[in-house]
Amino acid sequence: MADTEQAVEDQEPVEETEAGEDAEAREVAGDIDELVATSAQRDEYLALAQRTQADFENYRKRVARESAQAQERGVARLAKELLPALDSLDRAMDAAAHDDPLLNGVRLVRSELLAALERVGIEPYAPLGEPFDPNTQEAVAQQPVEGARSGTVAEVYQTGYRHNGSVIRPARVLVAE
């Protein structure tokens, strides 16, 4: 019997060790599960932050683009309003006598107005002698002109204006037949 008691005593520590190892294994497994859950939550928050950052960057670019377009439309609109005044100054210069003392003042006002338009990207164009282009020119008349090739601009009645490559007002021209 002594041998049996000895065997029982030997088994008890083994069972306690196994029970302790099982508890420790469960604790480690619980910690791993918690880490996996935390990692998944972190990945979810990171993805959300990255999407939010990308959305904000897209929003910032869109607002900048729309703002630039609005500014361009505003400049073109203002130019359209000023061009008739510029045309009137051109007619006044054409009608004035060469020795008229006001002519210098009209030239100065015209040059300042043109310089202001050029500073914001508006440029005049007069396609005299160039082939007629219906995209940038408006044919007011067509007639035979001596010394001019057929289909070319023989006379510019009204100067055209462009803003960053787009036509604000087409040039009004006479096209040679």
pLDDT tens for each residue of 8-20: 455 545 455 677 7
- Strand, coil or helix: what is 160? strand
In sequence order, the β-bridge partners of residue 174 are 141, 155
pLDDT tens for each residue of 145-169: 998 899 999 999 999 999 988 999 9
Supply the CATH number for residue 127's domain.
Answer: 2.30.22.10
What is the residue-wise DSSP string for 19-67?
Answer: HHHHHHHHHHHHHHHHHHHHHHHHHHHHHHHHHHHHHHHHHHHHHHHHH
Q: How many domains does the chain have?
A: 1
pLDDT tens for each residue of 104-154: 899 999 999 999 999 999 999 999 999 999 999 999 999 999 988 999 999
Write down the pLDDT at residue 8. Answer: 47
Distance CA 177, CA 164 (A): 32
Is residue 43 one of the residues assigned to a domain? no
| pLDDT, averaged across the chain | 89
Cβ atoms of 126 and 156 closer than 8 Å: yes
Write down the pLDDT at residue 17. Answer: 65
Is residue 86 one of the residues assigned to a domain? no
User: 7 or 160: which carries more pLDDT confidence?
Assistant: 160
Which parts of 58-176 are beta strand (E)? 122-125, 137-143, 153-158, 160-163, 166-169, 171-176
Range ranked top by mean pLDDT from 57-61, 98-102, 142-146: 57-61
Structural domain span for residue 135 = 122-177
Distance CA 110, CA 87 (A): 9
The alpha-helical segments, DSSP class H, found in 96-160 are 102-119
Is residue 109 one of the residues assigned to a domain? no
Does the pLDDT at position 80 exceed 70? yes
* Residue 72: both structure tokens together: 């361009």
Is residue 108 one of the residues assigned to a domain? no
* Residue 60: both structure tokens together: 């910032």
Q: What would the mean pLDDT of 48-72 be, rounded to a whole number?
A: 96
pTM of model > 0.85: no
